[in-house]
Amino acid sequence: MKIIMLGAPGAGKGTQAKQIADKYSIPHISTGDIFRANLKAGTELGKKAKEYMDQGLLVPDELTCDLVMDRISQDDCKNGFVLDGFPRTIPQAEALDAALTKIGQKMDYAVDVDVPDDNIINRMSGRRACLNCGATYHIVSIPTKTEGVCDRCGNPVVLRDDDQPETVKKRLEVYHAQTQPLIDYYKKQNILKSVDGTQPMEEVFRAIVEILGA
């Protein structure tokens, strides 16, 4: 089962992708995790990615495509995978389709978690992240056990630069210009499925499972 998660930044697609991966025992492949690993290690890729992320801009194709394709080719992806944060543009989607076609495969579902912009701006301003281990929280829906302290590693949690309201607005503008066309792209392939992302997380997941099949 090969699934692409679509949705604006802050729509909750990452949370849903993790739950799908757990339920169906397939890897959750997040470009965000790949970038964070490189940021923490201080690699050249990490430094370049950070320049874009801090401005609320999308990381260019050339910094992501090879990493993702290499990940897909690993043994644990033979029964499927959930892509979270890739593809983000039509050229990336076409490159992914071409690479899968070469090995006789194709994507099965593109699941769009649909949330209005105003909801996202309010939601993301409450997000907190641990810069040490990458764990994410929300001051309302997923608070830390101790205020301001990561449950997993004990380091401080912060409001990341790319979760600041002005940066979020810029990220949404970029999303609508560059990423939203993917919805039409996958609709034409008859693999697009949309769910109402304003519902509680459990309800969103239940709707996705109905689409994918238990």
pLDDT, one tens digit per residue, over 24-77 is 999 999 877 777 777 888 888 788 888 888 888 877 777 777 677 777 887 998
Choice among 160, 169, 170, 187 that is catalytic: 160
The verdict on whether 123 is a catalytic residue reads no
Give the H/E segment covering residue 73. Answer: none
The verdict on whether 128 is a catalytic residue reads no
Choice among 36, 71, 88, 123 that is catalytic: 88
184 has a pLDDT exceeding 90: yes
Q: What is the model's pTM?
A: 0.75
Amino acid at 133: C
The verdict on whether 127 is a catalytic residue reads yes
Which domains does the chain possess?
2-116+178-212 (3.40.50.300)
The verdict on whether 13 is a catalytic residue reads yes
Choice among 13, 36, 71, 128 that is catalytic: 13
| pLDDT tens track for 195-204 | 999 999 999 9
Residue percentage of the chain with pLDDT more than 70 = 99
Give the H/E segment covering residue 124. Answer: helix 117-124
Mean pLDDT of the chain: 89
Strand, coil or helix: what is 106? coil
Q: What integer pLDDT is reported at residue 214 of this predicted model? A: 60
Q: What is the mean pLDDT of residues 79-106?
A: 90
The verdict on whether 88 is a catalytic residue reads yes
Give the integer Cα–Cα distance in Å for 202 and 46: 33
